[in-house]
Amino acid sequence: MILGDLMPSLVAVFLIASFLLPLLLNYGLLEFIGSLFKKIMRPIFTLPGRSTVDNLASWLGDGTIGVLLTSRQYEEGYYTKREAAVIGTTFSVVSITFTIVVVEQVELMHMFLPMYLTILAAGLVAAIIMPRIPPLSKIPDTYYTDEKGFDESIPEGYNSFTWGYKQAVERAEKSPGVSGFLKEGTKNAMDMWFGVLPVVMAIGTLGLIVAEETLFFTWIGAPFVPILEFLQIPEAQAAAETILVGFTDMFLPALMITDVTSEMTRFIIAALSVTQLVYLSEVGGVLLASKVPVNFWRLVIIFLLRTLITLPIIILIAHMLF
């Protein structure tokens, strides 16, 4: 599955991302958007305004593009360690196109709009809570480089728009020409293909072996059975087995839940698998291979916290819909 299904798509995504990253980084978009959205992102999500672009790149493209963009910004001193970890694990959201694939797999395309709104609502709540609790809140606000870091303040005589526009123009004037763009894009592709793909292949394969060939996820999912039964979720046993298996691959819960007859249960598991975000076969593997300061055990805790935060919200909305 990893070699035949996931790797070809990642090769293509990384190729596109390799040439998309310089366009996002070098021509003023981050500076302009960052200035406009600073007053929203900082108080609500404790993040710089420019992190909005990371989120949009994930949402419209792929979660791995968001992680790679975040890692590059972190290495260049625009994000602190805490900010990079928060963006990488909270805002590297699953793309709309992949969400459609999951919804089709569980045969709920007629419910796509309410499901996607449910995913957005649960994801928004998680994005507000996660940066304010450990382990993310305990990561120091220090920079990867020795420099002081990026100053978001707006000088006198400017507003958010005019200052963002001025910074964007200055950044674009310093950008490399066509040859520089092609050189950087090619270097990015080589780095991703030979640096990131082997890590994703190794971690994803090991995770899937545990999920498919052992009862590990059945055992650790067992505590969720009485909780799901108490919350009146049909076929609670089958649902519980899939709740934590999404840590290995986001698509596995959708594959495992297809035999369940209850639309409500399939709705909950499909929505949860998308909001959990951190799965080892792609985004989690790319995070571990990047410079973003998160290790394996920190990812495990973040995954569990996201599950505990988003699951009650999804169940509540599912009871309202069904």
Whether the pLDDT of residue 218 is over 80: the answer is yes
Interacting residues of 11 by C-beta distance below 8 A, sequence separation 6+:
193, 197
Cβ burial, residue 78 (10 Å; 0-12/13-18/19+):
buried
137-151, 181-195, 267-281, range with greatest mean pLDDT = 267-281
Q: What is the mean pLDDT of residues 289-300?
A: 90
pLDDT the model gives residue 133? 95
Whether the pLDDT of residue 139 is over 70: the answer is yes
pLDDT the model gives residue 147? 66
CA proximity to 293, closest of 174, 141, 123: 141
Whether the pLDDT of residue 150 is over 80: the answer is no
Whether the pLDDT of residue 9 is over 80: the answer is no
SS3 of residue 315 by DSSP: helix
* Distance from the first to the final alpha carbon of the chain: 33
Amino acid at 76: E
pLDDT in tens, 94-119: 878 778 888 988 999 999 999 999 99
pLDDT in tens, 161-215: 999 999 899 988 988 888 888 998 898 888 878 877 887 788 778 877 887 898 8
Least confident of 74-88, 127-141, 187-201: 187-201
Bridge partners, residue 143, by sequence:
80
Mean pLDDT of all residues in the chain? Answer: 88
Q: What is the mean pLDDT of residues 228-236?
A: 92
Measured CA to CA, the distance from residue 117 to residue 111 in angstroms comes to: 10
Share of the chain above pLDDT 70, in %: 98
